[in-house]
Structures are given as structure tokens and as C-alpha cells.
Amino acid sequence: MAAYERQRILLRFADLVEKHNDELAALETWDNGKPYEQAVNVEVPMFARLMRYYAGWADKIHGMTIPADGPFHVQTLHEPIGVCGQIIPWNFPLLMYAWKVGPALACGNTVVIKTAEQTPLSALYVTRLLHEAGLPPGALNVISGFGPTAGAALCRHMDVDKLAFTGSTETGKLILELSAKSNLKPVTLELGGKSPFIVCEDADIDSAVEMAHFALFFNQGQCCCAGSRTYVHEKVYDEFVEKAKARALKRSVGDPFKQGIEQGPQVDSEQFQKILRYIRSGVDSGATLETGGDQFGEKGYYIKPTVFSNVQDDMLIAQDEIFGPVQSILKYKTLDEVIKRANKSAYGLAAGIFTHNLDTANTLMRALRVGTVWINSFDTFDAAIPFGGYKQSGQGREKGEYSLKNYLQVKAVVTPVKNPAW
């Protein structure tokens, strides 16, 4: 299909998504439990924005002409890879679909996408809109299925040419293995995290508290990049802990379809139980439980916003990805020390820095081994900003121009020329 046609389909798709904004948001809340206000005001509009962003790229993908030694005309063709297998998680079902499907289609590939077992609905609905926008039958197929069966089948399939996965580091390793054992299809991985959020002594404490709260509690704490290790300078530590606790106590938890609700239930019983086990381990290992610590209400998978202080690096709650509304606050003394401690993690997805000191910000920004650094901000997810991990947080980048590379092959074409002076 001509690039311009692909572009027009993606643009029409974005228009249709906007038209169906409320239904899509309702499905997302229904499936996942996230606040409807978040789905309707942020996630679905961002989906449309991502599709327009990728539509913009569709007709701007081209190779190069390269001056090689000798009488040769050398050019590169940027070709689609082919059939892309994509496996997405349950925490942002629509946005994960957009991050994967957008670049794959813009570059001219076909897609087989497997949704997470917990959240199959919005992908099915949105794919109907994609076909209404003009995508030919068969160019994109959705599979609702389980990971070890449907997901693994996709990974080991000899006719799948590329894999893109977002999920846990543990599953990411299995996926690389399946690729290696089958046809060595290239794999992009966006995996877990344990992101440091560093509050320096000069930071504006009230806004640091608010941003650290958002960085951790957003989406019920179910974010791969959640700021789940809050490092606070000793000079402002006590004040920060007091205020972080007060903010968590104010967080509105309840029916995600109700107005003004900041936190809905966790996605399922398995996650709910896992988070409660981590909270118990925090208490058992000697961290101070400032607030929260158990189920909210008696019905549903709601968890009280939980804050731990006096957390030590070797505690499980400071090392593992909890994926829940549990904030861990740690104390530090010097910049060198916090850099070492922040980097001492198997993960390297993101980091937050809170300071007005330019030298401190520059030092930290360069020293942290992570794929995204947010300075005096967190969770800014523009379509053009690349996202991905260092270390065991993943391979490759999604969003932005960088994401196109994942979905293109480069073919070098060499032709001798008659006139050597050319």
C-alpha cells in the first residue's frame, strides 16, 4: 500500500477513536479498574494523538544515497520487516496497543497482536474502528489469549518476523529465548522497573511531595516506570515524610466510574494478593508503616494508599517491582551516595530528579543509568519522546522517531557505474 494511503488510514482511525472516546474509556475502566476520568481525559485522547503522530511518519520513511569508495552507486531501502507479533500488558491496554500498532503500520508491516488476559475488550473495539478507517482485512489481527499458550505460540512461530513485548522482565527473558530457539526474529522489550525519584535538599518540598505521590500512585501504582524508590535528602527527610503521608491519606479511593476518584481497584486478585504480601514483607523487614497497609473497604481489590519510611536498600520492597500503591521513602546524605544507590538495581527504566540546582541536575541526569530522566516532572509521555530501558528494563525504544527503527529493515543496494568520475 502506498505510504500516503497508510497515512490516511491512520488519520481516519484517530478521528474515529475521538468519536468513540467515551465508549473506549468505559471499556478501559471496566476491564482494568482505572479511574474513568483518567481514561476519558488522558488515555483515549493520547491514543488518537499517537496515531496522528505515526500517520505523520508514514510518508517520510526513506533510505539514503551513500558515497562509497569506487565506482558504485549505493543506496539503502528502508523496507517493512513483515509480520509483527506484539504482546501487550494490562496496565494501559489502549496505549500499549497504540505504541506498538502505530509504528508497525506506519512502516508498512502487518500485525498479530495478543492482548493481556485481564484486559481484552478495548483492543477488540478499537480494531473494529481501524477496519472502518480502511485497513484491509488481515493486515492486523487481534488474539485474546493466555501468555504461555497464545503468546508463546506467536513467539516461536516461524512466519512471524519480529516481536515487540511489554510486560515483566521474567516473561521478557522467556520471549527472547523463544525467538532464539525458532527463527531469531528481532525482539524489542519494554520490561519492569524500580525507578528512583530523588529529592534534593534545595527542592521545593510541597511540589516534590506532590510529584513523588503522582509518580508512584498514578494508575494504582501499576506503571513500569513508577517512582518506587523515593530517595530524600536527610535535611528535608522528616518534613517530606510527614507531607507524603498526609497526601496519601487524602487520596480518594473508590468506584473508578465516580467523579473525583483518584484510585480504583487493582487489576485482579493475583496482583491484589501480591501487593499485600509485599506490604507484609515491608513491615516484617523493619520499615516504618506511615499509613495504609491493608485492603480498602471490604469489597473489591482496593488497597489503601500505603507509605513506608525508613526503607533500606536491601529490603524486598526497595528491590522488587511491587506494581501497587506502596511508596517507599529512603534517606540519603550525599550526591555520590545516592547515585550509587539509585544505580544499584537490575532495572534501568526511568528516574525523577527534584532540584533547582543546575549542577546537581546535570550531574544526576548524566550519572543515572536509565532510559528516561524527568527533571522536576514525571510521567510526561509525549508521542515524540522515546521510551525504553537500560539493563533488565528492556531493549529498544518505543515512541518517537527512534521507534521506527524497530519496524524497518535496511537493504543496501550497490550498482557499478560506467563513469568512474561520477
Can you give the binding site for ligand ADP, defined by CB under 6 A?
87-89, 114, 116-117, 146-148, 151-152, 155, 167-168, 171, 174-175
Separation between Cα atoms, residue 65 and residue 235, nearest integer Å: 58
Phi, psi torsion values for 12, nearest 5 degrees: -65, -40
Taking the C-alpha atoms of residue 93 and residue 379, their distance in angstroms, rounded to an integer, is 17
Residue nearest to ligand ADP (CB): 147
What is the C-alpha to C-alpha distance for residues 15 and 17, in angstroms, rounded to an integer? Answer: 5
CA distances from 109 to 97, 163, 200 (A): 15, 12, 46
Q: How far is CA 265 from the centre of its chain?
A: 20
Nearest to 391 by CA among 358, 355, 345: 345
| Cβ distance to ligand ADP smaller for residue 85 or 371 | 85
Q: Are 393 and 166 in contact (CB under 8 A)?
A: no
For the bound state, the minimum distance from the C-beta of residue 32 to ligand ADP, rounded and expressed in Å, comes to: 12
Range list of β-strands (E), 180-310: 187-190, 196-199, 229-233, 288-291, 306-309
Shortest approach of ligand ADP to residue 170 CB, angstroms? Answer: 7
Q: How far apart are CA 236 and CA 158, in angstroms?
A: 56
| Residue among 224, 290, 321, 398 flagged as catalytic | 224
Rounded to the nearest whole angstrom, what is the least distance from the CB of residue 309 to ligand ADP in the complex?
A: 27
Q: CB-wise, 55 or 96, nearer to ligand ADP? A: 96
Given phi > 0 = left and psi -120 to 50 = alpha, else beta, which region is 80?
beta
Ramachandran region of residue 396, left (φ > 0), alpha (ψ -120 to 50) or beta?
left
Q: State the minimum distance, in angstroms, from the CB of residue 148 to ligand ADP.
A: 4
| Cα 190 from Cα 194, distance rounded (Å) | 13
d(CA 205, CA 231): 13
Q: In this structure, which amino acid lies at residue 136? A: P
Return the closest-CA partner of residue 229 out of 132, 339, 136. 339
* Beta carbon nearer to ligand ADP, 167 or 389: 167
Which are the contacts of 120, defined by CB distance < 8 A and separation ≥ 6? Answer: 31, 144
Residue 385: Cβ within 10 Å count: 12
Residue 168 beta carbon to ligand ADP: minimum distance, rounded to whole angstroms: 4
Least distance to ligand ADP, CB of residue 270, Å: 8
Provide, rounded to whole angstroms, the least separation between the CB of residue 22 and ligand ADP: 26
**Choice among 43, 107, 155, 190 that is catalytic:** 190
Nearer to ligand ADP, 88 or 142 (CB): 88
- Joined together, the cell numbers standing for residue 179 give 525467538
User: Is 5 a known active-site residue?
Assistant: no
Indicate the residue among 117 and 210 with the shorter CB distance to ligand ADP.
Answer: 117
Nearest to ligand ADP of 65, 269 (CB atom)? 269
Q: 78, exposed or middle or buried, with CB in 10 Å at 0-12, 13-18, 19+?
A: middle
Q: What is the rounded (10 degree) CA torsion for 251, 256, 259, 260? A: 10
Smallest distance, ligand ADP to C-beta of residue 178, A: 7
Question: Which of 48/116 has CB closer to ligand ADP?
Answer: 116
Q: Please, which residue, 145 or 227, has the CB nearer to ligand ADP? A: 145
Asked about 190 being catalytic, the answer comes back as yes
Active-site residues: which are they? 190, 224
